[in-house]
Structure formats: structure tokens, C-alpha cells
Amino acid sequence: MDYRDRHVVVTGGTGALGSAVVGELIRLGATCHIPVLHEKELERFPYRDHAQAVIARDGNLADEAAVARLYAGVPRLWASIHIAGGFAAAPVAETAKAALMQQIDMNFVTCFLCCAAAVNAMTKAGAGGRIVNVAARPALEWRSGAGMAAYTASKAAVAALTVALAEEVAKHGILVNAIAPSIMDTPVNRQAMPKADHAAWPKVEEVAASIVFLASPDNKVTRGGVVPVYGRS
């Protein structure tokens, strides 16, 4: 895959999965544009000083104006990868409206606004492009979302958006897909679930590889997919 001279937005690019995606894109020649909301996000980000990593501050992706500024600063956008989001677990009866709206804002609204901005930039350039969203296993397997219904609903919305948008923009040469990871093998998840079978969890580098392919010019036909990336879990 050749990403030379291609500009890619990666939301959530400083996290575990995002860092793996950014690292692979940089290796393949891309220039990555990474929005950050808090400076603390950069403390452990290994590419913060890399010439091919453009840090965009003012990264409130639930704010339409901030998203517009982010995409206005990207020349010749090729791909937009939407990893930013958050997780919260609670029974429905214990989930207040504020907690529900927080999950919707973090997971769905950020994705929707970035999709819209990316489509506008790509159609204006007229050269097509790629969009990759990040759903989750409960977005496909609703019963597995028991105890985290707000999160599940927000990620199911991401999956539905992906498929609908893929149909909407295919005529412009924009291919839209999503991945749906199970629990990934990260230090935070290992700490939270010390007795789980960590070897069965997909590694962030493996999930990143799926994202990078879907966002690449080598992906010429796949669109409207919500791809399970479960590993052996």
C-alpha cells in the first residue's frame, strides 16, 4: 500500500488503537492530521514530534465549528478514520439522560460530524476518498450489549450511519466502511479484566492493519461493510 502524498485525518489518534494506525500510516508515507482536545493526550503519543504527524489542537469533535476548522486545515484529504469515542457500562435503569447523551456525543455525534466534513472535502476535491468508522461488537451483536446499552446504541448508530453513507457517496468515488472490534488487547483492558483470556483478544496492530487497508487506495471495491475484527475472542 502506498500512502505517499496522501493526507489522512485520524480522530482518536493518540490512543492505543489510534497510535497503531498512525504509526502504520506514517510508515506507508501518509501525512496524518490528529485532533487533540487535551495536551495530556500527547504525553505518551510516540509520534507527537514526527514530521508526518500534524497535531490539531481545539479537537472538540462534538462541536461542528471545531470539526469544520479541522478539515479546513487538511490539504487534499484522502481518508478520514474515526476512532475517537468513549465507553461507559451501566444498566439502563441506572443510566441518566446526561450519561446517555454523553455516549451519543462521544461515539456517534463525533463520527457523524467528521463523516460530513470529510464528504464535503472529498467531493469538493473531486478525487474520491475513503472513510473508516469504528463501531464495536455489540453494535452487531446487540445481546452482548446488556449492561452497557447506552454505549451499544451509540455504536449501533455508527454502524447504521456507515452503511447508509456508503450508499449515499459511492457515486463520488468515496468508499465508506467500519470495523467492529471486540475487546482489544491493551494495558487498560488487561488491568480491567485480569482473569480474561488475553491471548484471544485482537491486538491493536492487527485491528490497525484492517483499518489501514480499508482506508487505502488498494481498497477499490469494499464499501458499506461493518467488518468484525474479533480475533479468537
User: What does the pLDDT look like over 152-179, one tens digit per residue?
Assistant: 999 999 999 999 999 999 999 999 999 9
Query: Is the pLDDT score of 58 beyond 90?
Result: no
* CATH number of residue 142's parent domain: 3.40.50.720
pLDDT, mean over the chain: 96
Mean pLDDT of the region 207-233: 96
* 3 state SS of 37: coil
pTM recorded for the entire structure: 0.96
pLDDT confidence band for 185 (50 / 70 / 90): confident
Tell whether 116 is covered by a domain: yes
Domains in the chain: how many in total? 1
Give the tens place of pLDDT for each residue, 4-39.
999 999 999 999 999 999 999 999 999 999 999 999
pLDDT class for 141, splitting at 50, 70, 90?
very high
Question: For residue 2, is it within any domain?
Answer: no
- Report the pLDDT value the prediction gives residue 59, as an integer from 0 to 100: 80
- Does 1 map to a domain? no
Q: Quickly count: other Cβ atoms within 10 Å of residue 92's Cβ.
A: 12
Which residue type, as a one-letter code, is found at position 212? V
| Residue 54, CA distances (Å) to 26, 46, 71, 165, 213 in order | 11, 13, 12, 27, 21
Mean pLDDT of 125-129: 96
Does residue 47 carry a catalytic annotation? Answer: no
Torsion over CA: 179, 184, 187, 193 (sign): positive
| φ/ψ of residue 38, rounded to 5 | -130, 140
Q: Which residues of 19-29 are buried (b: 16+ CB within 10 A; e: fewer)?
A: bbbbbbbbeee
Residue 59: C-alpha distances to residues 25, 39, 40, 151 (Å): 20, 10, 13, 21
Would you state the pLDDT for residue 25? Answer: 98
Which range of residues forms the domain containing residue 101?
7-229
Confidence of residue 125 (pLDDT cuts 50, 70, 90): very high
φ, ψ of residue 34 in degrees (nearest 5): -120, 110
Give the side-chain half-sphere CA count within 13 A for 155.
28
Q: One of 3, 71, 151, 230 is an active-site residue; which one? A: 151
pLDDT category, 93, cuts 50, 70, 90? Answer: very high
In a domain, 87, yes or no: yes
Tell me, what's the pLDDT at 187? 87
